[in-house]
Amino acid sequence: MKTYTNPVYPYARPAELDAPGARRPVVIVGAGPVGLAAAIDLGQRGVPVVVLDDDRTVSVGSRAICYAKRALEILDRLGCGQQVVDKGIRWNVGKVFFRDELVYRFDLLPEPGHRRPAFVNLQQYWFEEYLVERAQAVAGVELRWESKVVGVAPHADHVDVTVATPDGEYTLECDWIIAADGSRSAVRQLLGLEWEGQVFHDRFLIADIHMKSDFPTERWFWFDPPFHPNQSTLLHRQADDVWRIDFQLGWDANPEEERMPERILPRLRAMLGEDADFEIEWASVYTFQCRRMQRFCHGRVLFAGDAAHVVSPFGARGANSGIQDADNLVWKLDLVLKGLAPDRLLDSYDAERTRAADENILNSTRSTDFITPKSNVSRTFRDATLGLAKKHAFARRLVNSGRLSVPAILVDSPLNTPDRDPDFAHGPGAMVPGAPAADAPVAGPAGEWLLSYLGGDFTLLGFDAAVGPFGVAALARDPIPCKVVQVGGKPTAGATTIEDVLGLAVRRYGARPGTVYLLRPDQHVCARWREFDLPSVRAAIARATASA
């Protein structure tokens, strides 16, 4: 590749090869986006963690390239969001073409006042490189390269992990394993666990090309374009003038042949013109599938990311959902490890994230069925929809080139405390229990975005000094502490006060003076009230930690 050289991380001979080591609280298998996010989060919480990866570098090839707003917000909490956003390419607008006509345009973030854009595009190798750098800077995170898991032996109170290295095998004893080792998960296979779903009968060519172009920074999707008849094509811009082009090939295509430059170049020339000046960076031919494990928690082995669930790529729901898995899991595991919550808190990880996986699978299956119709009649409906879409608004809503990743709203979570006050909003975008906290511009000691003040620990967000000094002090002293952030009003001892500079926090939270929101450590709302009441907040925290 012209624009990127994969780093080579050093393998170090593990001490356990010579003498058994102490039991580790957490071993993470897989140093991809999900494993690294989990490792950084655990490290930030003071939990020592060993990360095992069978390779000694980051992703080979650009692979997952679209990182959604919610994933970026999670990375902000992990201390590496800015790097990804600075290097990545921001985009909000998508366009859909049928043959050579624009039929549909969408803007994923028409509303200002959020720190992060709807999406940035960035090659997965850059993304992982930044996470590796961050993980190396967090105390207690140990990355072990060329360390392949070849055995997993679960016991009642711990797990033995056998690791193969260039110097031989050793066994690591740990309390918990997070298996984030991708769709071909070695851990899943070693435990003989199944996953269910479907494989789609279609093949796609991904070509990354290096090209100077003033093409707009938008997602362009073509159905049946003149340069690639009867199939679809997707174009995305990535960092460093690298462009991702995805050609649908059909099920009969020969993957070995389609990978060859002499097959790829004519496709690119037809699309970009005979005079276009570009070089191929990387190319791959793939099929895809939608499946998930029935359960993500198997005793002390916890599955996350592609190891637990895979989707077709239309909608960018792979890495983005895996990062939300890590975000959801780590605070719970931390409380369990510290003895502050029972093991069954992890059941809520399973409940919340299997539901999110189902939503992702549903959406990406529908997109795939639209892009790759399975029957003549399905194709007829698809083409009829596209034909009507140029003139008629209703048909534009039916066009499906990918429903792009949106954060999971954990509405049915057992950790939520149902609303007691009847006048809270429930519509789309409302901060219902289960919703991830909305961002807003603010002024205060920790920067100018609301989300910087929320999460990590439980957070009580009060409006107009809703929480008095006694409540603030009591919550800070509880075994599971809860910090207090107040929007507006007089400063309260022990609480952080911020100003709602544009009034957007009040609007987005439907707040009145006295309103309080309880946020989980992963920034999801778990309870809200029109006035502060200490026993209610404590009860909601107990419920949100499966301790009620």
Asked if residue 369 binds another protein (CB under 8 A), the reply is: yes
Beta carbons of 184 and 32 less than 8 angstroms apart:
no
Minimum CB distance to another protein, residue 224 (Å): 9
Beta carbons of 91 and 218 less than 8 angstroms apart:
yes
List Cβ neighbours of 311 (8 Å cut-off, separation of 6 or more): 288, 290, 317, 318, 321, 360, 361, 364, 365
Minimum CB distance to another protein, residue 295 (Å): 26
What is the C-alpha to C-alpha distance for residues 371 and 233, in angstroms, rounded to an integer? Answer: 10
- Nearer residue to another protein within complex by CB, 267 or 396: 396
Which whole-number Å values give the CA distances from 340 to 71, 345, 481, in the listed order?
27, 10, 11
Asked if residue 428 binds another protein (CB under 8 A), the reply is: no
Structure token pair of residue 379: 């194709």
- Nearer residue to another protein within complex by CB, 139 or 393: 393
Minimum CB distance to another protein, residue 387 (Å): 6
Burial of 94 (0-12, 13-18, 19+ CB in 10 A): buried
Binding characters for another protein, 98-137, by CB under 8 A (x = yes): -x--------------------------------------
Beta carbons of 315 and 363 less than 8 angstroms apart:
yes
Beta carbons of 520 and 408 less than 8 angstroms apart:
no
List Cβ neighbours of 422 (8 Å cut-off, separation of 6 or more): none
Minimum CB distance to another protein, residue 160 (Å): 45
DSSP 369: H
Asked if residue 227 binds another protein (CB under 8 A), the reply is: no
Binding segment toward another protein, per CB under 8 A, in 158-166, 383-391, 437-445, 504-512: 383-391
Asked if residue 363 binds another protein (CB under 8 A), the reply is: yes
Size of the site for another protein (CB under 8 A): 23
Beta carbons of 301 and 307 less than 8 angstroms apart:
no
Beta carbons of 116 and 439 less than 8 angstroms apart:
yes
What is the C-alpha to C-alpha distance for residues 424 and 525, in angstroms, rounded to an integer? Answer: 13
Structure token pair of residue 222: 């073509």
- Nearer residue to another protein within complex by CB, 384 or 548: 384
Cα torsion at 255, 260, 263, 268 (round to 10°)? 110
Asked if residue 493 binds another protein (CB under 8 A), the reply is: no
Asked if residue 375 binds another protein (CB under 8 A), the reply is: yes
Q: In the set 97, 204, 243, 370, which binds another protein (CB under 8 A)?
A: 370
Asked if residue 427 binds another protein (CB under 8 A), the reply is: no
Minimum CB distance to another protein, residue 436 (Å): 22
- Nearer residue to another protein within complex by CB, 195 or 381: 381
Minimum CB distance to another protein, residue 521 (Å): 32
In the chain, the N- to C-terminal Cα span, in Å, equals 55
- Interface residues for another protein in 386-425 (CB under 8 A)? 387-388, 391-398, 400, 403
Minimum CB distance to another protein, residue 367 (Å): 9
What is the C-alpha to C-alpha distance for residues 548 and 535, in angstroms, rounded to an integer? Answer: 12
What is the C-alpha to C-alpha distance for residues 130 and 37, in angstroms, rounded to an integer? Answer: 11
Structure token pair of residue 40: 């950084």
- Nearer residue to another protein within complex by CB, 212 or 391: 391
Asked if residue 381 binds another protein (CB under 8 A), the reply is: yes
- Nearer residue to another protein within complex by CB, 363 or 452: 363
- Helices 319-337, 33-44: crossing angle, 10 deg rounding: 30
Asked if residue 221 binds another protein (CB under 8 A), the reply is: no
- Nearer residue to another protein within complex by CB, 400 or 416: 400
- Nearer residue to another protein within complex by CB, 321 or 452: 321
Beta carbons of 457 and 482 less than 8 angstroms apart:
yes
Minimum CB distance to another protein, residue 152 (Å): 38
Structure token pair of residue 518: 């309880």
What is the C-alpha to C-alpha distance for residues 281 and 278, in angstroms, rounded to an integer? Answer: 9
Minimum CB distance to another protein, residue 368 (Å): 12
Binding characters for another protein, 84-103, by CB under 8 A (x = yes): ---------------x----
Q: The tokens 């194709």 sit on which residue? A: 379
Minimum CB distance to another protein, residue 363 (Å): 7
Q: In the set 197, 366, 499, 501, which binds another protein (CB under 8 A)?
A: 366
Minimum CB distance to another protein, residue 55 (Å): 38
Binding characters for another protein, 313-352, by CB under 8 A (x = yes): ----------------------------------------
Which whole-number Å values give the CA distances from 126 to 11, 60, 129, 175, 307, in the listed order?
20, 10, 5, 32, 21
The residues of the shown chain that bind another protein, judged by CB under 8 A, are: 99, 363, 366, 369-370, 375-378, 381, 385, 387-388, 391-398, 400, 403
